[in-house]
Structure 1
Amino acid sequence: MITTVVVGNPKPASRTLDAATVVLERLTGRAPDHVVDVVELGAGLLGWGDEGVAEAVRTTAASDLVVVASPTYKATYTGVLKLFLDQFATADGLAGVVAVPLMLGAGPAHALAPEVFLKPVLVELGATVPAPALYLNDKHYSEPASTDAWTARWRDVVLGAATSLQEGTRS
């Protein structure tokens, strides 16, 4: 199973990146195969045809399981993540990929933001999102208790969907 973390935080090597990696590791028991820290793609995100951006899109689309993460900005995901997601040329650019939408925030006021804003755009791009989106407190995300209940409830569903889609592409 090929796993990837995609993070749309305006700060490189952010807590959001760390949180997404933690979630993926708790789901799979191992580090991600690939990490796309979107802000590192730079100005290539602002146009079309940048090879670094195209490679990041190909890597993401070729993954079986992707955790897509953003800090909460103005009650939704960041513009830098939107710029990356806009690089998927077709509505099925994430077909065959299981995605876990993840957002970090300072408090519970925006807990529905990943479900309401990030999950729909991933589904629109063709990703399979078999579990509710995850919202974590940006100060407590690394504590096991922050993800224990979600992981206990959804781990088998997420991994089962990824395995099923992976097997479907081989037949």
Structure 2
Amino acid sequence: MQITAIVGNPKPLSKTYHIAMEVVSQLSGLASEQGRSSEQLVIDLADYAGALVQWGNPQAEKLLELAAGADILLFVSPTYKATYTGLLKLFADQIPQNGLAGKIAVPVMVGGSPHHSLAVEHAMRPLLVEMGASCPTKGLYVLDSQFDELPAVVAGWIEQSRCGLSRML
């Protein structure tokens, strides 16, 4: 099973990237508990920003292939203007109509205020569903202030989402 995170923070190796790493790691651990092996991949779009603005760029095409090969896709973004970043949108715009059909997707967002916590469900989930993905769990919203407690925050989300996550693994 391939678990892939697409990180849409324009800053390389950001907090968002580290959140993606933690979620992928814990999902892989849950898969292992259920007797399933998994491969983990975290793609930091900040490293490919220039490629994503050029339609048909070979690097961007490779990223799209990697996403297409995933069994579970996490789309991870900081909250900008109450939604996801333009960088993540650049990547999503290159996915063909229904290009995520048959894929399991999990929306994950990070933000500075709990006032934007609905962005994960109001902005990110509709994007994933529009591309054909199934989102069987509630998305994860992490506050900046929770970063030092990240393993516990992700573990709490996994516990709350265990039923849906177990079915998708």
Fold conserved between structures, TM > 0.5: yes
What amino acid is the match of 2:133?
A: A
Correspondence for 2:144: 138
Correspondence for 2:54: 47
Q: In the alignment, is the contact (CA less than 8 A) between 1:22 and 1:142 conserved in 2?
A: no
Correspondence for 1:110: 116
Aligned partners of 1:142 and 1:65: how far apart in 2?
26
Give the TM-score normalised by structure 2: 0.88
Aligned partners of 1:18 and 1:65: how far apart in 2?
18
Identity of aligned residues (%): 41
Q: In the alignment, is the contact (CA less than 8 A) between 2:100 and 2:133 conserved in 1?
A: yes
Q: In the alignment, is the contact (CA less than 8 A) between 1:141 and 1:147 conserved in 2?
A: no
**Structure 1 residues 1-171: aligned runs within 5 Å:** 1-29=1-29, 33-90=40-97, 92-143=98-149, 144-161=151-168, 163=169
Q: Secondary structure at the match of 1:116?
A: helix
Q: CA deviation at 1:142?
A: 5.0
What amino acid is the match of 2:106?
A: V
**Unaligned runs of at least 5 residues, structure 2:** 33-37
Correspondence for 2:35: none
Aligned partners of 1:51 and 1:139: how far apart in 2?
38
> Cα deviation per residue 1:26-50 (whole Å; 9 max; x = unaligned)?
2221885222111211222113110
Q: Secondary structure at the match of 2:145?
A: coil
Q: CA deviation at 1:18?
A: 0.5
Change (3 A) 1:121 1:33: same
Give the TM-score normalised by structure 1: 0.87
Q: CA deviation at 1:70?
A: 0.3
